[in-house]
Structure 1
Amino acid sequence: MPHLTTPRRQSAATAADRMGVGVPGYAHPLVAPVEWGELSRPGAPLDWVALNVANGPGQRPDPHCLEAAGRLRNAGVPLLGRLDVAYGARSFGELVSDGHRFRDWYRVDGFYLDRCPTDRTDLPGVRRLTAMLSGLAEGGCRLVLGHGTHPYPGYAETADQLVTFSGPWTDYRWSQVAEWTADYPPERFCHLVHGLPRTHLEEAVRIARWQGAGTVFLTDRTVTGDLDGQNAAFETLPGYWDEIVSRIGPGVSE
């Protein structure tokens, strides 16, 4: 299988024993109350949770999102404001303005830059944006770039973590990792996989560990027919959430 034959440093493969979950954006707390409740449950192995009020922070503070954000903060879970970079189509000023609203209203710990560009030519613009955003969150700012695929290697120096895979299990099971990622520890990479049957959960965790991804989101939910179908697959709780928590929770290793 390709993910087993791709060269990796042995240290990267073994260092992934500690694995956590990154949540790219559950549905609104009114629509997904169970999901948001699970996020603040003690013992959930969460690295970060992205808050998406209305394709960003919205036009005014949302009381339901304020309550959900407060529960996560009290539980010690890092909360990221989701910013849609639209592959570079949105303006710098608009994104920074959204970042300020996330900070002022929801006291986020950082930002999840969804649909982040991947090309070398877009790197200066992303570097400028992350430099500005990094000064917004109090006590440090966690930045996750939602590329969804392996970007130009220089992006690894602009954020805390890169999403280097986002897609269906049918693609993930045959995926290959870019060799340059072996120069970085597992906590620098995240994989998001949808359409994953429960029977292949163990295999998916093994692939993530082997490819050096320290953060994952694995779900049996599938995409819908709309343009935002892939994000919709991540908006609900996986049917095997309890199994994920028990398999990669605190103190669990392989």
Structure 2
Amino acid sequence: MRPLTSAVVPAYFHPAVAPDDWRRLAAGGARARLVVLNLAAGPGPGPDGEFRAVVDPLVSAGVPVAGYLDTAYGERAPEEVRQDALRYRRWYGVDRVFLDRVRSDRAALPHYHRTVALLRDDGVGEVALNPGVYPDPGYAELADLVVTFEGPWRSYRRLVVPAWAHCLPAHRFCHLVYATPRIAQRWVRRAAGRRHVGALTTTELDGANPWRRLPASWRGRS
């Protein structure tokens, strides 16, 4: 079984709501493969000083931080996504991106190829895609990291990994598992290792935004 050495942390919480979670991120940033900054399904309408105050220490410490970009399953134009990425860079000094709500079918590949090409032309340092499922293999060629599962623990138990994924390094894949009871946490970690995944984040939280706080393991209650 491959060891899991890192975590992708969807930090979908405001510093005013969960200041301690941001302090824990700064203290434990070496555990993070990527911290995903999400203000309002994107960079928001303007700079937020409270976010800047918590992101600066992470960036200065070398913790990889990515700006969350909603692709609306291919409905947003590549140039619109590009502009949001530029705002993250100007306002927060973040030059990595996390593209969410990504389609997984082969027909949408040209659209995402154009989007990623624009981002890389602008000097984006790392591109993560989140279709939340195993997509057409062409998506893995576009990205540095692909989230190939995002969902509840009960669904994770039935996950089947396609053969093509085993031909790429495990560190190219991430699983995000929520609604995981404490007694199942260890099983999920072992299963992720067997499934050729290099980054895993699992949380006990559920609901519309299971990433509204750090997982209990980051809060010292695992």
What TM bracket, shorter-length normalisation?
over 0.9
Q: Matched residues in 2 for 1:43 and 1:84: separation?
A: 24
Q: Matched residues in 2 for 1:201 and 1:235: separation?
A: 19
Q: 1:221-240 maps to which residues of 2 (within 5 A)?
A: 221-223=205-207, 229=208, 232-240=209-217
What runs of 5+ residues in structure 1 fail to find an aligned partner? Answer: 1-13, 224-228, 245-254
Q: Does 1:182 align with 2:178?
A: no
Tell me: CA distance 1:42–1:237, structure 2 relative to 1, closer, same or farther (3 Å): closer
> Does the Cα contact within 8 Å between 1:135 and 1:141 map onto a contact in 2?
no
Q: 1:157-172 maps to which residues of 2 (within 5 A)?
A: 157-172=141-156
Q: Matched residues in 2 for 1:53 and 1:134: separation?
A: 22
Give the C-alpha shift of residue 81 in structure 1.
Answer: 0.5
Q: Which of 182, 187, 190 is the matching residue for 1:203?
A: 187
Q: Which of 87, 103, 106 is the matching residue for 2:73?
A: 87
Q: Does 1:153 align with 2:137?
A: yes
Q: Matched residues in 2 for 1:108 and 1:90: separation?
A: 21
Give the C-alpha shift of residue 243 in structure 1.
Answer: 6.4
Question: SS of the counterpart of 1:123?
Answer: helix
Give the C-alpha shift of residue 44 in structure 1.
Answer: 4.4
Q: Matched residues in 2 for 1:238 and 1:135: separation?
A: 35
Question: Which runs of structure 1 show a deviation greater than 6 angstroms over 4 or more consecutive aligned residues?
Answer: none
Question: SS of the counterpart of 2:94?
Answer: coil
Q: Matched residues in 2 for 1:82 and 1:196: separation?
A: 24
Q: Matched residues in 2 for 1:43 and 1:115: separation?
A: 25
What runs of 5+ residues in structure 2 fail to find an aligned partner? Answer: none
Aligned to 1:10: none
Identity %: 39
Q: Does 1:124 align with 2:110?
A: yes
Aligned to 1:21: 7
Q: Matched residues in 2 for 1:98 and 1:74: separation?
A: 22
Q: Which of 175, 188, 199 is the matching residue for 1:215?
A: 199
Q: Which of 86, 109, 112 is the matching residue for 2:95?
A: 109
Kindly provide the CA deviation profile for residues 156-176 of structure 1, in whole angstroms up to 9, marking residues without a partner as x: 100001000000001102211
Normalising by structure 1, report the TM-score: 0.83
Q: Matched residues in 2 for 1:56 and 1:199: separation?
A: 34
Question: SS of the counterpart of 2:121?
Answer: coil
Which structure would you say has the larger RCO, counting Cα contacts within 8 Å and 6 or more residues apart? 1
The aligned amino acid for 2:160 is: Q
Q: Which of 46, 56, 62 is the matching residue for 2:32?
A: 46
Greater Cα shift, 116-125 or 39-48: 39-48
Give the C-alpha shift of residue 222 in structure 1.
Answer: 1.0
Q: Matched residues in 1 for 2:109 and 2:121: separation?
A: 19
Kindly provide the CA deviation profile for residues 180-228 of structure 1, in whole angstroms up to 9, marking residues without a partner as x: 10110111000000011111111000011110111111000011xxxxx
Q: Matched residues in 2 for 1:43 and 1:133: separation?
A: 25
The aligned amino acid for 1:126 is: Y
Give the C-alpha shift of residue 147 in structure 1.
Answer: 0.6
Give the C-alpha shift of residue 236 in structure 1.
Answer: 0.7
Give the C-alpha shift of residue 107 in structure 1.
Answer: 1.2
The aligned amino acid for 1:159 is: A
Number of equivalences: 221
Aligned to 1:7: none
Aligned to 1:4: none
The aligned amino acid for 1:233 is: P
Kindly provide the CA deviation profile for residues 114-165 of structure 1, in whole angstroms up to 9, marking residues without a partner as x: 101111010011011111112334xx61111011001001111000010000
